[in-house]
Every structure is written in C-alpha cells, then in structure tokens.
A and B are shown apart, each in its own frame.
Chain A
Amino acid sequence: MSRDNTCLVSTILHLNNSTSAAFQLHNKHSASTIQKMNKNKKTSRRKFLVRGGLGTLGVLAIGTYVFRNPLRRKTLSIAETLIPPYNGSGTKANLWFEITKDNQVMLHSSKVEMGQGTFTGLAQMVADELDVAIEQIQVIGAASATGIVDGLSTGGSLSIASLWVPLREMAATMREMVKGEAAKKMGVAKSDLTTKDGVVSGGGKTMTYAEVAADVTEWDVPGTPDLRPVSSYKFVGKPIPRVDLAAKVFGDPIFGMDAEMPDMLHACVIRPEHIGATFKSADTSKAEGMNGVVKVIETEDWVGVVAKTFSQALAAKRAIKVTWDIPRKWTESDIREMLQVGKGDRMITQKVGDELDPEDADVVSIAFSSPIGAHAQMEPNGAVAHVEDGKATIILSTQVVGITQKQVAKALGIDTDDVNIIPTYLGGGFGRRLNTSHAVMAAKMSKEVGKPVKYFFTRKEEFQNDTFRPPTHHIMRGKLNANGFLDSVEHHYASGDVAINSVLMPGFAHTVLGTDFGAMRGANIMYEKIPNHRSVQWHTTLPFATSWWRSLGLLANTFAIESFIDEMAIKAGKSPVDFRLAMLGTEGNQARIRKVIEVAAEKSGYTDKVKGDKAMGFAASIDTGSPCAQVVEVSIVDNKIKVHKVTCAFDCGIAVNPDQVRAQCEGSIMMGISGVLHEKMTLKDGQLYPTIYGPYEMALMRDAPGEIDIHLIQGAEVPLPVGEPPLGPIGAAIGNAVRRLTGKRVGDLPMRVG
C-alpha cells in the first residue's frame, strides 16, 4: 500500500457544517496543520447542516419519545425501520478527499472496512460523481486527527446507506470546484468543460485534476450540484472487484495486529477467567526479574506486563500470580434460570389486536432457545499506543473510532483533540469491535514506560472476555382461524443485553426506551394481515457482558418466529409459501417481503414434500428495511444436519456493488449455519467455555453448502442495509427442513437430531 503522501490539495468538505468546500494547499504540510488551518475557517451552514441536525438515531429518537408505552412502541417501530443518516462528528472541519501529485484521489472514509466491502462501495460512489476511474481512488480509514470519523460506529449495516447521498454530493461539489478552477486556468468556459478519469477537457485542452489543483489557494465553492441519475453511473451497480483485494491476497500489513511504531514494546494484560471476578492483588516479584521485562504495571483493577518481545511478555505474564475476588461461581442453569420468558423487565414491543387467552385449548405453544454466541473474529483485539507529552496516538482495529478517542482521553485526563485514533483494516468486526476499551490499557501502559506499546488479547482472553451474543428464550403462541390461517400469533422473548449497557447507548436510554432495541431486532411479527399479533420482550442483564453480534436479535428471533409459522402451516395443511403470502399485505415493505418469498420459492423449486433423503425448508424475514427469503435443501447423515444448497432472494434496494452484496449474503448464510448448527458457549466451573476454536465448534469448509444461489431484487430506489439482514431466515429454514425430514420440531440452538 505505497502511496504518495505528499498531497497537492486536500478537499475539506464540512459535511455537517456547510456545503462550502475549501481546497487547501498543503504540500508538505502535516495533517494536523491542515486541521488547524481549517478550524479557523468560517463556514456557511446550509444543506449538510440540515442533514447533520437530523443526525443520529439517538437524536431523533430522544426528541420524539414520550413516556407512555403505546407511543414508545410507535417510536420503536420507526427506529426499527429507520435508516439513520450519516453520524459524523459534526462540529469539526475535517478532511474527506485529497488529490495527490500523481492524480490519485484519496478518500478518508468515516466508516471502517471490516470485510463488508464498504470501502469499495464508497469508492464507486465517489468515482461516479467525481469522474475519476475506480483505480484512481485510494480509500483509507479516516484518523480522528485528520478526517471525519463516525461519532457513533461502523455497524448496523448502515455504511453505504447512510453515506449514499452526502458522499456523492460532496464528490459532485468537488468536481464542480475543479471544473471552475480549470475554466480559469484553461481559459475555457466552465460550461464547455467535461470531466473524465480525473482529467478536465474542453476547447482542445486537457488538464489533470492534480494540475488544476496545483498552487490554488482560494477556491470558488458552488452550490451543491444535483446528483446524476443512478442509471447513468459507470461504477455504481456494477460488480467492481474489491479495492482491497490485492492487499488481502498478497498479505500486505494492513491490520491492527500488523501495526508497529518505532522502538515499540510488547505487553500482556492478565484478564479474569471467572465470570464476575475482580482484581484483588498480584504477586509480580518473579515476573519483574525476567528476561526482557521492562515494567510490570499494576492498576486498581488490572495488571499488565511490558517487555521487549511478545514472547517475553507472555512468559512474564505466566509468572504473575493474580488473586481474584470471585464472589460466585455462575453455572449454566443459573443463567437459564434468570433468562426466561416471564422474568426480567417486560415491554410490549408490538401490539396489534387482542391478546391470546393462554387457557384457550386451540392455542399452540412452542418454546425455542438460543445459546451464548461468541464473535470469534479472526484478528484478536489489540492496540498499539504511544502516549507522550499529553498526546496519544493509537492504531487499532475498531468499529468505534470516535468513542475510543473519548474513552482514551477521559482515562488519560487529556483533551479529546489530543488523542489521535488511527483505524486500520479490521480482521473481522461482527460487533465485537463496538467496544475497544482495551485501547485505554495500551495507552496507560505506554504512558508508564514512555514508549509505544503493542497489546493484544490471547485467544483464550478473546473467548472469555467477549461481548457475547446473549442467550435467548422464546415462547411462540398462535391460533388458526376457521379458514386455516393465523388469527393470532404472539412472540414472547427473553434476552440479555444487546444495546443496553453498551458503549453506543447513553446510560438513560434504558429508562427512556424501556426495552432493548437490539434484542428486538427481528422480534416483531412482519405479517400484517394476521388480525392479532404481538411481541413481548423480557429483558435481563446477565452477569457477563453480552452485546452486539452481527444482526443482533435477528438470528434467534427469526428462528423462533419462522419455525412457528412453518409449524402452523403444517397444522393448517397448507404450503408454507402460500400460508405466508396470505398473511402479507400488498403495499410498501409488505409487497417487498411478498416478492422475495415468491422469488425464493420459484427459483428453488420449493416443495414441502421430502425427496429421497432430502427435504427443503423455507423462511423469510425483514431487517432494517431489507427483506430476505431463503430455501435450504437438507439431509441428515449420521445424526448430522447437512445443508446442500441455499437459495436466497434478497432486496436491499440499489445494490451499489452486486458482487459484494452477494458476498455478504454468502457470508451471512454461512455464519448463520455455523451459529445454528455448531456454535455454543457454556459455563463451566464459573468460567465461559470453550476458549479455543475446535471446542468452540464452527462451520468449516466441509460444512459449506455446495451451492448458494442468490437472487437480488431492487425494490427500493436507495441502497438499504446488506451485511446483516440475510442472517435472518437461515436458522428457521434449516429447522423447517429438519421438521419435514424427521417429523420433529427442533426448538433449541444449536440444532441436534437423533
């Protein structure tokens, strides 16, 4: 990833402050100089300010909430389907684009790249409005000192959707600025100029963008141009190869784990093994004299060791005897006892029509459950930190650049502006890096030794200190009407924290919302024509951290609901496809759900009849506005469930990069298969177990379906979330196939037969 760091110009577009943009000459200037220069600039507040003001999900939600349940429910239903606009830091002048001397455009992305393909999609959007070739764009994650970092997170499958309009508008604005300057330099009317591949042409002359920008100190800023029609785009909508493809195939050092700083030391931190254990004291005497050990650092609640090499730090860590206060040895049954429908904080998250009478003999009731899930992302968490003279620089893989910056500043007692968080490519996110508070530990250790320190988790520490997907318990109840369709359906679900108590949620959110909207993902009934339907959450905070895991509650909630729908279709003697279609409306998202169901059924040749040793299973869901239906073909060999083929129909609106949308579908389906057939964390001797791949069973190559057949449908005129919604149907689809094969309904994840 070599690049010419000497930039001719940088474009500073004040997304939240202004439509005005300023090109600043910063040949050989450091990025921090640029930032200071821009801070002093006066900015006009027009279009982008309005968008910025509407801002985050939080702002909108908090502004609207009132303290009565029915209204809260309404708000929650809005929150569930809302695409929040871009969540930039809003108040700072920051850098979006730079044009380098060799006529490359560097995009400082406010969103990080963790495999979801966002960098590629953003490059496509920029290329089409800025009129440069895709190869001319380099995308880097914005550092907090030099670029716009997302004040909230990269997550929720929202990166492309939230930047869809503002990023293209900025690129278009920049294109017009270049043209305006070119008109002056070339002596050709702006209206006679055209732009292509980073070159301005007109009146028989050409200039590269770099040539246009050279030596310009004052720029004329036009009003925000109209965006071009999507149909005219050369890159958006095309399966452009990932911009990070070569770096990832040739082993470039692009991850947080690969980061180094000059004169860097290595550190280990001892983390508790037992749930709820707190640090009491440590005997560090042996470690202190060991080879390579620079310093053993004991704080109020943890102890770390800094050494010259990682191996030395690890050896010294093993020589430290820590005494922990272990108030209680939690067991699996303790957790299951706590986490049940009927226990914890109750909140009706959806309420249409009447409640079922549980005494009614015609009511069918089935229980479901899902286990604790680990993120198990391949790159361990870690950070390289350097703290010196009241300033901190931290390089790490994180989904929360802005939040990590604030946490480090607070822990060190310095200004936020004095903390520069430099995000790298992430070796997997999946929600695990929505909490990267370990950056604080690295920073504190660096401060202690006065040198850069690299600190990362061992794999055991990853497994025991994860912010797990919470276990869940569900009771589905329903009743058919005289025509054999659902008259009532109820989803009662118990979950640990997802959004609540996470770093993304303000402390008062729980009180205001009364529910965990993360656990609620996928929990509401999507079939509007069922006359009576409701969803009731029972929330409990567990004694270990549970939080965001790719698609949040969607995997488990859809497993429960769509398994139950299938069971009721069987009871009614109806095709599960017809049964579902009859319960859907014909407008808006109802029509879009209908469409994916029809396409999946048709393309897969769905039948509810067992053929030979195989059966098909059907399920659908809608998550953050993106409906998905999946059909699986399953057999059971030696009491093991084998998925042979998955057909997936998915509507995410505009697919900015259809190949990468497919990749996200494939990944979601496969991660879902892994989740519902293999994965399970348990409690053993008061600890979370297992602590390594293998014992933590996951889908491997041999578990991958022979074919994943994806059909993309564009049912909206904007790009909608992609990275998580396809995780919805897979669990229920497999369970429904198993039901056809064995006659038995599997209620507990991971699924076991025989």
Chain B
Amino acid sequence: MKKLRLLYIIPVILFATILLATDFNEYAEENNNRTFTRQTAESTEYFDQMMSALTHPRCLNCHPSDNKPKQGIEAHPHYFGVERGKDDHGFTATNCNTCHQEENNDFSGVPGAPHWGLAPASMNWEGLSKTEIATSMMDKSRNGGKTPKEILKHLTEDPLVLWAWNPGIDAAGNPREKPPISKEAYIAAVKGWFEAGAVIPQ
C-alpha cells in the first residue's frame, strides 16, 4: 500500500517541481502532449463545466464552421447575409462595426464588445464535439499560435469572451440567455482545468 502511494506521489512531486521550475505555460504545452499526466475525475469535471459555456451559442455563434456568423439561441445564420469577410470582421464597407460597437446597445438591442468579430476560420467549433473543440483550442496550428497560457488568458480575460455573461437585451428588449454556469464558476473551471493539466478527456 505504502509503496503504491509513494509511486503515486512521485509524479505529483515531479509535477510540482516542474511547475515551480518552469513556466507554467511550457509545462502545459508538454502536458498537451499528454506524456505524463492523466485524466482525473476532477479535471474532467472542470472540463465539462468549461465546455458547458464554450459550447453555448453565446460562444459558438462566433466560432462558425461555414463563415456565417450565427445569431440567437437557436443559432440561425446572421440576418442580411453577413459573412466572415477577409479579416473575420465582415465585408469591406459593411462590417461588424457598422452595427456592433464596444458595448451592448440597449436602445437597439444590438450586442457589442471590444473587437467584436468572428474567431478566425481555423477556430471553427460549430458542429464539433467538446473534445474536438478543446483539441482545436489547444492546437497551436489552429488556435492562432497561442500558447496554453495565452489561451487561458483569452478564455478568462478577453472582454469579448466574457461578454457571454453580459449579453444584453435583444431587439425585442428581452434579456439574452447566458451560458449555463456563472462567469465566476466558468473562470474557476477554466483555471482548474489548466491547473489540472489541461487534460482533454478522450
């Protein structure tokens, strides 16, 4: 029993040492290769909580798979034929900022947040499973070259991401639906998942 427990502890110590000795970021990168950490019940729970938000239309609507932003809780294609355009911000003259500004507009019901726009095409999540989304999110070739630390920052600090918990009112004046967990719980889950090794359940 004792031996077993020791065996179990070794990687934990290793983990802690590496964590202390190296940039968290680099650790997580290695971790992403899943060479020496394992899925735990705790990390899976963090993962599921995080994903309950990331798979909500408030997030997915701007990660489309067909270059068409989606709108509403039923994720219909954006009205008026709005599309990604060359720079993820719409067409040349009629772009996201023609209607969307840095804040929600309660007069019009048009949502807004800083740098309102689509996630780049490589980050298409629409129609993907939770595992596929996470894999894509952690894959430098698809996530805009972001390190895990940068991903963590994007997920927990970017005002456009956090807009999901301040989605304002719609054109009819009704409050938009928020993701199923609170912003605080979401941020805690994201941090927890990363701290637990950012393990993607298979």
Contact = CB atoms under 8 A, between A and B. Distances in A.
A311 B80 contact: no
A700 B107 contact: no
B79 interface: yes
A347 B2 CA distance: 96
A702 B173 contact: no
B172 interface: yes
Contacts of B80: 694, 700
Interface in A94-115: none
Interface string B70-114: 000000000111000000000000000000000000010000000
A40 to B, nearest CB: 53
Contact of B173 (A318, A694, A695): A318
Nearest to B72: A695
A702 B82 CA distance: 12
B79 A695 contact: yes
Contacts of B79: 693-695
Interface in A483-521: none
B81 A692 contact: no
Interface in B161-181: 171-173
A451 interface: no
A460 interface: yes
Contact of A311 (B81, B107, B171, B172): B107
A460 B107 CA distance: 13
A318 B169 CA distance: 13
Contacts of A692: 171-172
A700 B81 contact: yes
Interface string A676-714: 000000000000000111110000101000000000000
A389 B8 CA distance: 94
Interface in B143-202: 171-173
Interface in A290-325: 311, 314, 318
A460 B172 CA distance: 8
**A314, A318, A693, A694 — most chain B CB neighbours (10 Å):** A694
A311 B173 CA distance: 15
Nearest to B170: A692
Nearest to B79: A694
A683 to B, nearest CB: 16
B173 A691 contact: no
A301 to B, nearest CB: 23
A702 B83 CA distance: 14
A684 to B, nearest CB: 11
A169 to B, nearest CB: 50
A460 B170 CA distance: 12
A736 B11 CA distance: 74
Contacts of A695: 79
B154 to A, nearest CB: 30
A314 B107 CA distance: 9
Contacts of A702: 81
A290 to B, nearest CB: 15
A725 to B, nearest CB: 31
A584 to B, nearest CB: 42
A700 B81 CA distance: 10
A569 B172 CA distance: 48
A705 B81 CA distance: 17
Interface in A398-413: none
Contacts of B172: 460, 691-692
Contacts of A693: 79
B187 to A, nearest CB: 32
Contacts of A700: 80-81
A691 to B, nearest CB: 6
A700 B94 CA distance: 14
B79 to A, nearest CB: 3
Contacts of A311: 107
A691 B107 CA distance: 15
A678 to B, nearest CB: 12
B109 to A, nearest CB: 9
A235 to B, nearest CB: 39
Contacts of B173: 318
B10 to A, nearest CB: 59
Contacts of A314: 107
A555 to B, nearest CB: 24
A691 B109 CA distance: 13
A460 B173 CA distance: 10
A376 to B, nearest CB: 14
Interface string A127-144: 000000000000000000
Interface string A314-346: 100010000000000000000000000000000
**B80, B107, B172 — most chain A CB neighbours (10 Å):** B172
A318 B80 CA distance: 28
Nearest to A695: B79
A314 B106 CA distance: 11
A305 to B, nearest CB: 16
A30 to B, nearest CB: 41
Interface in B37-65: none
Interface string B106-148: 0100000000000000000000000000000000000000000
B131 to A, nearest CB: 31
Nearest to B109: A692
Nearest to B80: A694
Contacts of B171: 460, 691-692
A692 B173 CA distance: 12
Contacts of A318: 173
A694 B81 CA distance: 10
A700 B82 CA distance: 12
Nearest to A692: B171
B172 to A, nearest CB: 6
5 contacts: A318-B173, A460-B171, A692-B172, A693-B79, A700-B80
Given A460-B172, A691-B172, 14 more contacts: A311-B107, A314-B107, A318-B173, A460-B171, A691-B171, A692-B171, A692-B172, A693-B79, A694-B79, A694-B80, A695-B79, A700-B80, A700-B81, A702-B81
7 tightest Cβ-Cβ pairs between the two chains A and B: A694-B79, A692-B171, A694-B80, A691-B172, A702-B81, A460-B172, A700-B80
